[in-house]
Chains A and B, each alone.
Chain A
């Protein structure tokens, strides 16, 4: 156990790297998700097809293959990426492809009447999407997007394989210098568990915050409060 205390600063740095990779990857994932998700719903084939090919390719191959491809194969085209860039790019694009399907599903499950009403009011397609359709789809998107984010967080451990010094990478380093295998691996298991639990809590809070019937619920509760007081 003493090894853990001695090497705590190293683990701390690894934790910060893991969190940074998760935030950068998560940001990229959201951008990719909305870009590819809405592109797949476009009425133009030129927009729809590339998005579909992107999503199916990134969902159909493993993340680790993509990460190694960005890191080891791109140099053959003269593009040398920093390990961190390759890792974040692979994470963001891979999880973004999964999230794009979530975005597409949530948007296409909106009632047709909403779009028709927008058209009747003379809104442009972009305005329709930005002001009406996407805000309405957010509550339906949140739970599955939360799952994608937890997956992304757990998959940040793979960046250690392309030499990014994250939590898993540091743990391997400490393991090979001290030989405290059990203690170190149990420690990072718990650290990852705490991180993903916090992320799950954050998603649950966002879900409550953006629940569609929030207003309806509060009115109902108010009525109940009033009736509790006594006969009006």
Chain B
């Protein structure tokens, strides 16, 4: 018998614990990415000398390098300079920073999608700069941004498996640990794949719906 059913059933609770860690990483990572991405997008748009080009380069560099290598850098290099966190925190921060670069692009397209007339009207009303951003531009930009943020949330959920390489004990690492201790890889890996699918497929259906609902009406 290739597939051992009772073994598969016995490891489900452990895998569900791993799935919960994966979900936690995703939610915390998305929070970091959404906040930092917004900062990056606004800084780039403000065109401050030195600061904005640095932000732009940061975004391009993060997008051009693999998440795994970034995770290794944070996990192996930072402790040498006295900055050390546990694997979970490091993982959340790395994936959050990685996705902030992608989110910055999403926000940028959202901000650029706001008609020029809105800026002009704000100037004509001589609204203060801060209020223009917080009350006029960003609320309109968010409308197009929300579904795309959803897509990145699902992407991050799947990518968080990469953090198993820096010993974060999430779903993938749990499956691997079960595999290496019992010498049976088929059941844990298959179940891990199914659990990923069970969360990400319905989630992507929801995002598709959001996309249709928030699509700008012309």
Q: Which A residues contact B (CB, under 8 angstroms)?
A: 56-57, 59-66, 68-69, 72-73, 75-77, 150, 154-158, 160-161, 168, 171-172, 175, 181-182, 185-186, 188-189, 192-193, 196-197, 200
Contacts and interface: CB of A to CB of B under 8 A. Distances in A.
Interface of B: 2, 61, 63-70, 72-73, 76-77, 80, 158-162, 164-165, 172, 175-176, 179, 184-186, 189-190, 192-193, 196-197, 200-201, 204
B186 A73 contact: yes
A85 B45 CA distance: 45
Contact of A61 (B64, B77, B196): B196
A62 B65 contact: no
A185 B77 contact: yes
12 contacts: A61-B196, A65-B172, A66-B193, A73-B189, A76-B184, A76-B185, A171-B69, A172-B72, A185-B72, A189-B73, A196-B63, A196-B64
Nearest to B171: A65
A157 B66 contact: yes
Interface majority SS (helix, strand, loop, mixed), chain B: helix
A23 to B, nearest CB: 17
B65 A192 contact: yes
A62 B70 CA distance: 18
A95 to B, nearest CB: 13
A100 to B, nearest CB: 15
B189 A69 contact: yes
B76 A175 contact: yes
B69 A157 contact: yes
Nearest to B198: A60
A158 B189 contact: no
A62 B67 contact: no
Contact of A192 (B69, B161, B179, B186): B69
A83 B14 CA distance: 28
A64 B172 contact: yes
Interface centre among B69, B159, B160, B196 (most CB of A within 10 A): B69
Nearest to B190: A73
B165 A161 contact: yes
